[in-house]
Amino acid sequence: MKKLLLLCTVVFATLSLGSCGISSMTSNNLSETKVVLAEKNFKVVGKAYGSASATYIVGIGGLSRKALRNNAIDEMSNNAKLSGAQTLTNITTYTSIKMITPFYVKATCSATANIIEFE
């Protein structure tokens, strides 16, 4: 009985103190306009970044994955400070999920894009 109790304690302590993570990456283009370029009439002027995070305790709280992704893209768009003939292209999102204990999970979504300017 003592050995079983000791084994259960060690297993629970390992699960509680250990952490693991899951990551995924998606790439998409949010622009609905399709442009066929006969010549290079644009230049890359920079990059834009944004991120959002959510915390879940016992699976409750935070945002859905879709809302988390949309918040990261929204922050990236606000940080870009586009003007004139500039737009975002090659939008990439990266989601990282870190499980600190079996009951506490933190999800972070980062979004990046290239800023291009048409001449």
Q: Please indicate, yes or no, whether the overall pTM of this predicted structure exceeds 0.95.
A: no
Domain range list for the chain: 19-118
Considering only residues 89 and 32, tell me which one the structure prediction assigns the higher pLDDT.
89
pLDDT-derived band of residue 4, with 50, 70 and 90 as boundaries?
A: low
Per-residue pLDDT tens over the stretch 60-94: 887 788 899 999 999 999 999 888 888 888 888 99
Secondary structure element (H or E) that encloses residue 105, with its range: strand 104-118
Q: How far apart are CA 24 and CA 43, in angstroms?
A: 29
More confident residue, 5 or 74: 74
- Does domain 19-118 fall under CATH 3.30.110? My reply is yes
